[in-house]
DNA sequence: GGATAATTGATATATATCAATTTCTTTATT
DNA sequence: AATAAAGAAATTGATATATATCAATTATCC
């Protein structure tokens, strides 16, 4: 099984003009861990890294595309362009996060948009290459299925959280998500706007700001511009569970 | 490729005490279409059909189970037991609908409950058998992945509909879903309560009833007890799209 | 210095909650 | 089998509340 660390790769790190096997650092999903070195090499043969500037669209909803996106550097948001010009942000991705098309095996029409929040470097892998490996390596196929079922669970969870919690619970969820799942450090600096945070929480930016203010006066959090520090995680957890 | 029609099977149809290969009628999902006759036989070897009475729980949320449920007869609801005793119904299943665990390849803890709305006859297939076939038959593996990605798209759609539409739009969605996806006939007789319909639409039963009443006076629908007839599908479609 | 984002306030509205009544379904009883 | 009794489900009304909308002000960033 491949175990590679991208730090060791000068080409990718310094020049940023290729996508070599070292891109597939061992990460949360372990999606590529089941691949042999040869298979990883075949996957990334001739692949180029792509650079996006902050604000650029990487994948556009309702568009046909066969690419699996693997973020190498920077932050991007995955969101649904819903009704009445409202956006619903599903996740903030970074590092070695992989987004396999929600419809990778179903006509390839994407049902979400991915856009860069900061400058982003990422690999675009053609999903037909994945399907080929999928046939050859059963462990890898199971990894992909696991990845999808995990995605499914997250969606189900989001469905309940967004439909059955009051605003304070949803804001607490968003704050905890950002701290524990995206930035993984405590005072964290947001590359996203209040509007984005509201879109993560399914509410208007005004409502989001008001609740953020309450959390501040209750000393659950401390904010300074785009920096947020969570002071009382217990309290937020409890508000999240509320009702 | 197997193409079997369950009507032809006396054992299953009359005695209802086995689960033979004919159970896997060609259906919407075509999940089993990629299997050879031999493979289907191996899958259902020694399997028994199970009978549930209306109200019984088939699969319980937060419980470990390795079964894939395949409904042979009757109606069941798939729902999440959410916060504050609220339920969110994800789908009404019937016929040859197959529910592969949202976590089939991820620890097997179910994140939804399935319970019988009417008396239900169904097959429970052990997912380890599926995984084995999964390795042997790549087409089948792809079918399963397609099934999952389709599930994913449906969830995403539900997420947007439930969070970004007003109540009339959600009620219209529920009515159209019942007519076109579940019962597939126009005056249809509901095996579910108003509470269930409300749980499908993410609102209280009182709110649901009020909007149903409005639709009735607008002559979009006609209701008589548990029978509902959709008179103006165009109108409902338009309300569904609203905003 | 002009645009964009963030905040605050006042108000409107969608939706839930609570309570009461009516209808329907199930169970029990003679 | 018929009917009464009990329970559950459906409906309707009055009210409370969560949340959005609109408008104005202040802060922040190229």
Looking at the partner chain, which of A84, A102, A160 has a beta carbon nearest the beta carbon of B243? A84
Tell me the pLDDT band of A47, cut-offs 50, 70 and 90.
low
B166-212 pLDDT, tens digit per residue, is 999 999 999 999 999 999 999 999 999 999 999 999 999 999 999 99
Closest CA to B235 of B187, B174, B172: B172
Q: Inter-chain contact B159–A88, Cβ cutoff 8 Å?
A: yes
Look at A117 and B43; give whichever has higher pLDDT. A117
**For strand C, which residues in window 199-228 of chain B come within 7 Å by CB?**
202-204, 206-207, 225-226
Look at B25 and B167; give whichever has higher pLDDT. B167
Degrees, nearest 5: CA angle A119-A123-A124: 115
Which segment of A106-110, A186-190, B116-120, B178-182 scores lowest on mean pLDDT? Answer: A106-110
Closest approach of chain B CAs to the CA of A120, in angstroms? 25
Per-residue confidence (pLDDT) for residue A28, from 0 to 100: 45
pLDDT(A79) > 90:
yes
The gap from C-alpha A9 to its chain's centroid, in whole angstroms, comes to 24
Q: Inter-chain contact B164–A83, Cβ cutoff 8 Å?
A: yes
CA-nearest residue to A136 within chain B is B138
Which segment of A44-53, B17-26, B107-116 scores lowest on mean pLDDT? Answer: B17-26
- Give percent of chain B above pLDDT 90: 53
Tell me the pLDDT band of A23, cut-offs 50, 70 and 90.
low
pLDDT(A105) > 90:
no
Tell me the C-alpha distance between A73 and B13, whole Å. 58
Per-residue confidence (pLDDT) for residue A8, from 0 to 100: 47
In the structure encoding, which two tokens stand for residue B15, read together? Answer: 């005695």
In the structure encoding, which two tokens stand for residue B139, read together? Answer: 């087409």
Mean pLDDT, residues A26-47: 71
The gap from C-alpha B127 to its chain's centroid, in whole angstroms, comes to 18
pLDDT(B214) > 50:
yes
B202 touches chain A (CB under 8 A): yes
* Any strand C atom closer than 7 Å to B195 CB: no
The gap from C-alpha A111 to its chain's centroid, in whole angstroms, comes to 15
Q: How far is CA A164 from CA A24, B85, B142, B190, in A?
A: 38, 10, 34, 26
pLDDT(A155) > 80:
yes
The one-character DSSP state at A117 is: S
* A chain contacts of residue B150, beta-carbon cutoff 8 Å: 106
Which segment of A214-228, B88-102, B153-167, B175-189 scores lowest on mean pLDDT? Answer: B88-102
A149 touches chain B (CB under 8 A): yes
Where do the domains of chain B lie? Answer: 6-161, 165-241
As a dihedral over the C-alpha atoms of residue A39, residue A43, residue A46, residue A52, rounded to 10 degrees, the angle is -140
What is the sign, positive or negative, of the torsion defined by CA atoms of B153, B82, B95, B201?
Answer: negative
Q: Inter-chain contact B145–A146, Cβ cutoff 8 Å?
A: no
In chain A, positions 155-174, which contact chain B (CB-CB < 8 Å)?
A: 155-160, 162-165
Look at A11 and B206; give whichever has higher pLDDT. B206
Degrees, nearest 5: CA angle B9-B11-B12: 75
Instruction: Note if the pTM is more than 0.85.
Output: yes
pLDDT(A209) > 70:
yes
B188 touches chain A (CB under 8 A): no
Q: Inter-chain contact B134–A141, Cβ cutoff 8 Å?
A: yes
- Cβ partners under 8 Å of residue B33, min gap 6: B1, B2, B3, B26, B143
A190-201 pLDDT, tens digit per residue, is 999 999 999 999
With b for 16 or more beta-carbon neighbours within 10 A and e for fewer, the B25-57 pattern comes to beeebebbebbeeebbeebbeebebbbbeeeee
Tell me the C-alpha distance between A142 and A150, whole Å. 12
B151 touches chain A (CB under 8 A): yes
CA of A225 and C1' of D26: distance in angstroms? 14
Mean pLDDT, residues A81-102: 89
Which range in A101-115, A227-241, B116-130 is most confidently predicted, on average pLDDT? Answer: A227-241
Q: How far is CA B68 from CA B47, B124, B137, B219, in A?
A: 12, 6, 18, 41
CA of A242 and C1' of D29: distance in angstroms? 38
Per-residue confidence (pLDDT) for residue B103, from 0 to 100: 57
Protein residue at shortest CA distance from C1' of D28:
A225
A209 touches A109 (CB < 8 A): no
Closest approach of chain B CAs to the CA of A149, in angstroms? 6
Looking at the partner chain, which of A88, A142, A157 has a beta carbon nearest the beta carbon of B163? A88
Kindly report the CATH number that applies to the domain delimited by A6-161: 2.60.120.10
Per-residue confidence (pLDDT) for residue B3, from 0 to 100: 41
Mean pLDDT, residues B63-69: 87
Mean pLDDT, residues B85-105: 84
The architecture of the domain spanning B165-241 is Orthogonal Bundle (1.10)
CA-nearest residue to B111 within chain A is A153
CA-nearest residue to A138 within chain B is B135
Closest approach of chain A CAs to the CA of B11, in angstroms? 35
CA-nearest residue to B109 within chain A is A153
B62 touches B103 (CB < 8 A): no
Tell me the C-alpha distance between B160 and B170, whole Å. 11
Per-residue confidence (pLDDT) for residue B8, from 0 to 100: 46
A163-197 pLDDT, tens digit per residue, is 999 999 999 999 999 999 999 999 999 999 999 99
Q: Inter-chain contact A111–B157, Cβ cutoff 8 Å?
A: yes
Which positions on strand D lie below 7 Å from a protein C-beta?
A: 9-14, 18-23, 28-29
Which nucleotide is at minimal CA–C1' distance from B212? D11
As a whole number of angstroms, the longest Cα–Cα distance in chain B is 57
Which range in A15-29, B29-43, B137-151, B181-195 is most confidently predicted, on average pLDDT? Answer: B181-195
CA-nearest residue to A143 within chain B is B105
Look at A211 and A97; give whichever has higher pLDDT. A211
Per-residue confidence (pLDDT) for residue B28, from 0 to 100: 45
């Amino acid at each position: 099984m491949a175990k590679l660390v991208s730090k060791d790769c000068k080409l990718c790190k310094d020049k940023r003009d290729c996508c070599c096997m070292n891109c597939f650092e061992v990460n949360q999903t372990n999606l590529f861990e089941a691949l042999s070195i040869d298979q990883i090499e075949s996957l990334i043969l001739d692949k180029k890294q792509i650079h996006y500037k902050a604000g650029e669209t990487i994948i556009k909803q309702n568009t046909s595309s066969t690419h699996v996106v693997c973020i190498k550097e920077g932050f991007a948001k995955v969101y649904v362009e819903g009704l009445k010009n409202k956006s619903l942000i599903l996740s903030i991705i970074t590092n070695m996060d992989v987004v396999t098309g929600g419809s990778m095996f179903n006509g390839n029409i994407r049902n979400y948009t991915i856009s860069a929040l900061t400058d982003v470097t990422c690999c675009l892998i053609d999903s037909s290459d994945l399907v080929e490996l999928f046939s050859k390596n059963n462990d890898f196929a199971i990894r992909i299925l696991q990845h999808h079922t995990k995605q499914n669970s997250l969606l189900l969870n989001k469905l309940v959280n967004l439909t059955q919690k009051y605003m304070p619970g949803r804001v607490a969820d968003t704050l905890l998500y950002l701290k524990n799942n995206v930035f993984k450090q405590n005072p964290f600096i947001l590359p996203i706007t209040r509007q984005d945070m509201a879109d993560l929480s399914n509410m208007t930016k005004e409502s989001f700001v008001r609740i953020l203010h309450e959390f501040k006066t209750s000393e659950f959090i401390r904010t300074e511009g785009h920096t947020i520090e969570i002071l009382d995680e217990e309290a937020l957890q409890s508000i999240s569970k509320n009702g």
